[in-house]
Structure 1
Amino acid sequence: MSDLAAQQEALVAALVAGADVPEGFNSAAVLATISALRRKRAGEVAHRWPFLAASYGDAWVPTFSAWAAGRPPNGSLRDGWDFARCAGDTLPPLAREELADRERDFTYDGRSAPAPKRRGLLSRFRR
């Protein structure tokens, strides 16, 4: 691996996976970028999980950002799902309902991407 490739890999690890800021990079700039990326990620999850985000109100971005620290992004659907499951009993009621709806309609094992559950035509009309 070239030096440039190794530096790029270290920078990406710092930006999205919680690794230390690599030598030779401006720490303040990298930390500001990490903060911006976490806010963006929280916004994307809020778009996909509106009741989850709304349940936390103004605390959503800092709460999600703290959870996301050291966790690489897996897409907004999975990130929201993982966050909600991690919150466990502290998950607000409206967010708990949203999680229950997702778990009714999708299968998700925490490792691979969520997939819609296959159901017969009649089950779609029985809600």
Structure 2
Amino acid sequence: MSVVWGPDAPSGRDRLAARQAALVDALVAGGPPPDGFDTARLDATRRALLRKRAGLAAESWPLLAASFGEGWPAVFARHRDGHEPVGALRDGWDVARAVTGLTGGAAAELAARESAFRYDGRRAPRPRLRTRLRRRRRR
């Protein structure tokens, strides 16, 4: 590691921010483990965070999660590991779209969301025009 002195030297705050960003990237976005961190502990923490995200997504997508039963956290992890969190609704939506052969309630849940909202996988879901018009008529 080279040391930079003078006005271009990063401050202690900048160095800390860079290390924190590298840690977050390793935990939730598939980044490499930062220097000085125990990879086994990082991996255990990453898996725990994925389980927590799976639980939150199950609250937004109860029929999807129920369709996989006890296997839901593993299904969620298979599709979202290495992807940064985008919120429970979007995480679950991305899993629902990635899983092939959804049936029953899970397929109906996805179809209902797809008919009411537009979601391109990059930006937050937005209500479709007819959904917005129905909401206005109710007011």
Moved over 6 A (4+): none
1:45-124 to 2 correspondences below 5 Å: 45-87=57-99, 89-119=100-130, 120-121=133-134
Q: Is it true that 1:25 corresponds to 2:37 in the alignment?
A: yes
Instruction: Provide the rounded CA distance (Å) in 2 between the counterparts of 1:92 and 1:40.
Output: 25
CA drift of 1:121 comes to 3.8
Q: Calculate percent identity across the aligned residue pairs.
A: 51
Instruction: Provide the rounded CA distance (Å) in 2 between the counterparts of 1:7 and 1:54.
Output: 38
CA drift of 1:93 comes to 3.0
> Structure 2, unaligned stretches of length 5 or more?
1-9
Partner amino acid, structure 2, of 1:112: R
Which moves more between the two structures, 112-121 or 40-49?
Answer: 112-121
TM-score (norm 2): 0.80
CA gap of 1:90–1:4, structure 2 versus 1, over 3 A, is: same
> Structure 1, unaligned stretches of length 5 or more?
none
Which structure has the bigger radius of gyration?
Answer: 2
CA drift of 1:117 comes to 2.0
CA drift of 1:7 comes to 1.1
SS in 2 for 1:33: helix
RCO comparison, higher one (Cα < 8 Å, 6+): 1
Partner amino acid, structure 2, of 1:96: A
Q: Is it true that 1:36 corresponds to 2:48 in the alignment?
A: yes
CA drift of 1:86 comes to 1.1
